[in-house]
Amino acid sequence: MTDVTQGADALDENALFNAAVEAETLDKFENPPPVKEPDKPAALAPDGKTEPKPELKPEAKTDDNAPVPPGRLREEAEARRRAERERDDLRAQMQLLARQAPPQQQREQPKGIDLFENPSGFVQQELKPYLENIHTQFQMQREAMSLDFALQRHGEEKVGSARQALEQGMQRGDPHAWSTYQRAMGSHDPYGVIVKWHQDGETLRNIGGDLDGYRKRILEEALADPEYRARVIEAAKGQAAATGQHVARPVKPAVASPSLGNIGAGGGDAQTVEPSDAELFRAATQAKRR
């Protein structure tokens, strides 16, 4: 007996030789292609008709060696540059935020005080929120009373201007404004402190650094006022009458015919009369300047 298959289905030597010679390659002869199975019948649809078999489209093969259009290259370059700019902008914004943001310090919450270890500290810990609430309410009432008093004394316009000036100064970081705020919060009349600070500032701005020049300017403005000049004249008259001073002035000759009572008078001394308003005003202003 041999290992060769015996029977009718066994190929003889001639058939094997012919198959080897007729095969295109030795590989196909040694590894013949698999036999295709017959197509299965298509599934039936619910209505009894055969469902159409989907057509398989052949995949499009891309040629790696095909030239790329110039427009496509330009679009890719612009997209890459845009992505790089966005990346740089985002990185700069993150660095800016990192510099501006203050470092977050993790604060550990204090542990509660034990009643038996520290009874006094435990009582203070329990009463602290209530005391802070009472202090806040008292501060609000004090500010409300101070505001009412300031409105009655100075008026709504001055109080509003003072508060607005203080808020603007604090926003600018003005040390004088901050010190005024601290003094106001510690005072029994906070709005009074704020209004006084604002009035002092307005006065200083009006006067400037030259006090003598400010005085001269005020005097010139007063002398230009007719009402003030009339008051100065009245004051000078009262002062002259109190001291008994008189201003002598010559008598002007009369234009009309002489009176009979003056016949035979060879000319007398100058008569004593009351000073005029202009002379009194001139004497008063010259005395002040001296």
- Let me know if residue 156 belongs to a domain: yes
Residue 139's pLDDT is what?
A: 87
Residue 247's pLDDT is what?
A: 46
Reported confidence tier of residue 167, pLDDT bands at 50, 70, 90: very high
Residue 221 structural domain: 208-246+276-290
Residue 106's pLDDT is what?
A: 53
* Domain-ending residue, one of 148, 180, 205: 205
When pLDDT is averaged across residues 25-38 and rounded to a whole number, the result is 58
The residue among 137 and 111 whose pLDDT is bigger is: 137
Q: How far is CA 273 from CA 229, 255, 278, in A?
A: 22, 20, 14
Alpha helices (runs of H) in the chain, residue ranges in sequence order: 13-22, 26-30, 70-100, 119-154, 156-172, 175-185, 190-207, 211-223, 226-243, 277-289
- Let me know if residue 34 belongs to a domain: no
- Let me know if residue 52 belongs to a domain: no
* Domain-ending residue, one of 153, 177, 205: 205
Token readout for 261 is: 């009572």
- Let me know if residue 98 belongs to a domain: no
As a three-state string, the secondary structure of 78-139 is HHHHHHHHHHHHHHHHHHHHHHHCCCCCCCCCCCCCCCCCCHHHHHHHHHHHHHHHHHHHHH
Do residue 229 and residue 173 come from a single domain?
no
When pLDDT is averaged across residues 44-69 and rounded to a whole number, the result is 58
**CB-neighbour burial class of residue 283 (10 A; exposed 0-12, middle 13-18, buried 19+):** middle
When pLDDT is averaged across residues 61-66 and rounded to a whole number, the result is 59
Could you read off the pLDDT of 240-277 as tens digits, one per residue?
A: 777 765 544 444 554 454 444 454 444 444 455 566 66
Statement: residue 105 has pLDDT above 60? no
Do residue 147 and residue 184 come from a single domain?
yes
* Domain-ending residue, one of 143, 173, 205: 205
Task: Please state the pTM of the whole predicted model.
Answer: 0.38
CB 249 within 8 A of CB 270: yes
- Let me know if residue 129 belongs to a domain: yes
Do residue 188 and residue 228 come from a single domain?
no
Q: How far is CA 263 from CA 256, 257, 266, in A?
A: 14, 11, 8
Could you read off the pLDDT of 17-30 as tens digits, one per residue?
A: 676 666 555 555 55
The residue among 234 and 109 whose pLDDT is bigger is: 234
Do residue 166 and residue 223 come from a single domain?
no
Q: Among the ranges 31-35, 145-149, 246-250, which has the highest mean pLDDT value?
A: 145-149
Residue 89's pLDDT is what?
A: 84
Residue 100's pLDDT is what?
A: 73
